Amino acid sequence: VHDRCGRPVRPQLACAGCGALVGARDTAAERAPGYAAERNAPPRRRRRSHRGDQPSEQTLPYSETMALLGERWITVIVAAAFLRTRRFVEFERTLGVPPTLLTQRLRTLVQLGVLRRAPSGARPGVHEYRLTEKGLAFFPVMVLVARWANRWMPTPAGPPVRISHPASGAVLEPVLACDACGEALQRVELHVAAPGPVPRLKRPDGVSSA
């Protein structure tokens, strides 16, 4: 609940510069010169645990979401898709991922409904992988993860990806906004409440409104 307006809140991604809500289609992204995406998926430093030691879909909360964030190559592939990488050979060349592994991860993303495989309009006989509406809706998560990483775990060469907001003419500074009042959300101005009916608020004239 947003304390400033008293309403239950569904956070929405917004541009701190102009206050407008933003999605993947409202932004432009480009890789930094010399950026190597495979650095975001370093080799594992220990063996995989036995399958029986891994949490199952029944015990893992938000299993589909964790499939996108909890598997190193899937996360990198989704990030590349937001950078408009579409063809198999482009994913392979840009990310340096082995072909067999790439085939498996792309198949998983199609099964999850995050990517769709469709014929290329420009090259007959070639297929592309494009983000679905479900995949595009993951954009705020990716942007906020990148913002956190840029601040708390910066790379010596600086941010690997630059995301701009053409409407404001500047680099996107993402914030979460309240969907009820539009104000930028601050952690200290939020509290968790048990599910229940929407509270009735007092208008300045003293009349209650839902």
**Can you spell out the DSSP letters for 67-88?**
HHHSSHHHHHHHHHHHTT--BH
- The 10s digit of each residue's pLDDT in 126-180 is 899 999 999 999 999 999 999 998 899 888 888 888 999 999 999 999 999 999 9
- The 10s digit of each residue's pLDDT in 17-52 is 999 999 999 999 988 876 655 444 445 554 454 444
- The 10s digit of each residue's pLDDT in 90-135 is 999 999 999 999 999 999 999 999 999 999 877 788 899 999 999 9
Q: In this structure, what token pair is assigned to residue 63?
A: 């299993």
Q: In this predicted model, which residue has the larger pLDDT, 64 or 5? A: 5
What amino acid is encoded at 172 in this protein? Answer: L
- pTM, two decimals, is 0.77
How deeply is 157 buried, as exposed, middle or buried, from its count of CB atoms within 10 A (0-12, 13-18, 19+)? exposed
